[in-house]
A and B are shown apart, each in its own frame.
Chain A
């Protein structure tokens, strides 16, 4: 008879190396999903022990206690207690500790003991501890704690051998009836008592070196220095921007060409007709226009994971906390907002590092206001068509200034909206405290980073294959049906539902100076903002491709007034119509409501900004 599946749960404080242990145990056999009803990431993997037993392991969110003060921590508590519906009760809870820093984990372990679950303490990063002169009397520690203790070096091959052997031993024992759960939320006095107890146990079985990690102290002396620290942060940001915009470019062009070629192949092999148009314009160019962003997503996450693994992220939050606090943002919102300059999708995904629900929601709501790279083609097109290439104030280029102004307007409005959200919705809540462990620096591990980037890329592609794909099909349908009557002139899109919608929207958009062609272009722009450029090209009956982008500039210059162009630029600062961003917001907040709120407020801002721009421009004689 085959032994039943063994369920393990990993519990530990943040920075305990829990995730690298999880990666070491499971490799790429991981599944990332959400727990039902909440946006907490559920990471599950599987492996086989040396004795051949199948093991399923969940990596529970990091926590310092079982009090459950955030959705993440509630999941950890409920999973350990076996209270989560539809989830297996763990057969063995592995409490993972950073061996250089046992204090807080031992306290957590003492609390975990009350749950009655079979428990094992894993002293992870044992090599680093040994190198620093930390010595642990493992047998004595195990005796004092009353639980098995193993050492592990998650990042080294074979570093988990002892852990696996002990797991096998524990699993092989006859099933003892589980001990009773005596856990109750600890009072302050009990918390204090368990920390004292933990300190007493550590004093008796662990000897700590006199000096802390000198490398961390040396790096922090520079990285957290008020002047040098900010300069280094700025430099890191600069390199990251360079990477996202410049290094990703060749790859993106390659992908884009590949999709174009694929579309052309379909075009050439299939007979002209609906199927051909559906595959080429709907599926391939639609999904392709999103997958093109994959290199940027990978690079952004590569940077984020590297900095996170190294231990720098907590420092960036430390440096930025007060600066961002003025706008009602948490220090940890900094990196997600930064990522949103490439694309709001990885930015919104990165908000998971913010543990306070309100702070996270504020960050998600304003992330789409950061000028994402998809707006650049639209900005470039309009600026080059309408803004003269002249010098102002002797040194600045007017076009560059307008571009800078558009970025600045995005950032300013994001800060303003954040301030308003706080004032309107959460006035009665004082700011969540900023209490954050600054972990010792560690060399990032290639394998862990690779697994992390791989899982993110997979999630992105899965979404491109589902949500975004269905949006594309819908937009293609609107732009293609009904087909033009026989002998009709002009582009087919003029007869489609999209055109009807555009004409229906025209009266609404007329005060902004938008004609029906712009209204139509805004519809396929839902899929990805830069698609609006191609759509304008189609609507103005110009051939697609790169040439068109140059030609269309000339056409626009003759057909639109300056006021209309400025108004459209103002619209795109806010540009609510990005289906993929909305889909990600829906998924990350777990609610249609917040998706609707984002769409609604951005639409309102876009309308107001365009209306103001158009009215003022007309008044100044730019009509």
Chain B
């Protein structure tokens, strides 16, 4: 039911819509306007299982501004705001 991103282009998970599925390519926490420092955000994302090579799928979107999103990371579901999800580069 989930469609793969057609052309294999890299994109931030924060821009992905419901149904998107892909694989994490890298974490780009330095480019994101989060409350956390790049280091702290990267640590937290890794602790929740967002590491390179992990399969992700956007399962649900929030009500206001389609935010936050519920992301399946391997076999765990994690809710994150799009702001932080911008640091997760997927393809």
Q: Which residues of A contact B (CB under 8 A)?
A: 64-65, 67, 69, 100-101, 103-104, 107, 186, 188, 191-192, 195-196, 199, 208, 212, 216-217, 220, 224, 226, 229-230, 314, 317-319, 321-323, 331, 429-440
Q: What residues of chain B lie closer than 8 Å to A317, measured between beta carbons?
A: 79
- Do A220 and B60 have beta carbons less than 8 Å apart? yes
Chain B minimum-CB-distance residue to A212: B75
Whether the Cβ atoms of A322 and B67 lie closer than 8 Å is yes
Contact status A435-B60, CB under 8 Å = no
Does A321 contact B35, Cβ atoms closer than 8 Å? Answer: no
Is B63 a contact of A435 with CB atoms below 8 Å?
Answer: no
Known contacts A192-B52, A437-B77, A437-B78; can you find 9 more A-B pairs with CB under 8 A? A104-B49, A220-B59, A224-B60, A321-B62, A430-B33, A435-B44, A435-B80, A435-B81, A435-B84
Compute how far the CA of A430 lies from the CA of B35 in the bound complex, rounded to whole angstroms. 5
Given contacts A195-B49, A430-B35, whether A436 and B60 have CB atoms under 8 Å apart is: no
Question: Are B47's CB and A438's CB within 8 A?
Answer: no
Instruction: Count A-B pairs with CB separation below 8 Å.
Output: 117
Contacts of A331 in B (CB 8 A): 68
Is residue B9 within 8 Å, beta carbon to beta carbon, of the partner chain?
no
Determine the distance from Cα of A59 to Cα of B34 in the docked complex, in whole angstroms.
32
Are the CB atoms of A434 and B80 closer together than 8 Å? yes
Q: Contacts A220-B59, A318-B68, A323-B63 given: A434-B47 contact, CB under 8 Å?
A: no
Identify which of residues 23-59 in chain B touch chain A, using a CB-to-CB cut-off of 8 Å.
33-36, 39-49, 51-53, 59
A103, A188, A226: the one contacting B61 at CB < 8 Å is A226
Residues of chain B with a CB closer than 8 A to A436's CB: 78-79
Confirm or deny: B11 has a beta carbon within 8 angstroms of a beta carbon on chain A.
no
State in angstroms the CA–CA spacing of A220 and B51 once bound together: 25
Q: Cα distance A65–B42 when bound, in Å?
A: 13
Q: Is the CB of A188 within 8 A of B42?
A: yes
Question: What are 13 contact pairs spanning A and B, CB under 8 A?
Answer: A64-B44, A65-B43, A188-B42, A192-B52, A195-B51, A220-B60, A226-B63, A229-B63, A322-B63, A433-B35, A433-B81, A436-B78, A437-B77
Size category of the binding interface on chain B: 35 or more
Task: Give Cα A431–Cα B75 distance, bound, in whole angstroms.
Answer: 28
Q: How far is the CA of A437 from the CA of B61 in the complex (A)?
A: 15
Query: In the bound complex, what is the Cα–Cα distance between A196 and B42 (angstroms)?
Result: 15
Q: Which residues of B contact A434 (CB under 8 A)?
A: 68, 79-81
**Least CB distance, A84 to chain B, in whole angstroms:** 23
Taken together as a complex, chains A and B put the C-alpha atoms of A186 and B46 apart, in Å, by 12
C-alpha gap A431/B40 in the complex (Å):
14
Contact A104:B81 (CB < 8 A) given known A191-B47, A321-B62, A438-B70: no
Residues from chain A with Cβ under 8 Å of B77 in the complex: 216, 220, 437-440
Taking the closest CB of chain B, its distance from the CB of A356, in whole angstroms, is 10
Contact yes or no, B79 A438, CB < 8 A: yes
In the complex, what's the smallest C-beta–C-beta distance from A196 to chain B, in angstroms?
Answer: 7
Neighbour of A319 across the interface among B59, B62, B74, CB < 8 A: B62
Instruction: List, in ascending order, chain B residues with CB within 8 A of A323's CB.
Output: 63-64
**CB-defined contacts of A322 to chain B, threshold 8 Å:** 62-65, 67-68
Given contacts A432-B35, A435-B84, contact A188 B46 (CB under 8 A): yes
Would A318 and B62 count as touching, CB distance under 8 A? Answer: yes
Partner of B41, one of A101, A199, A433, A438: A433
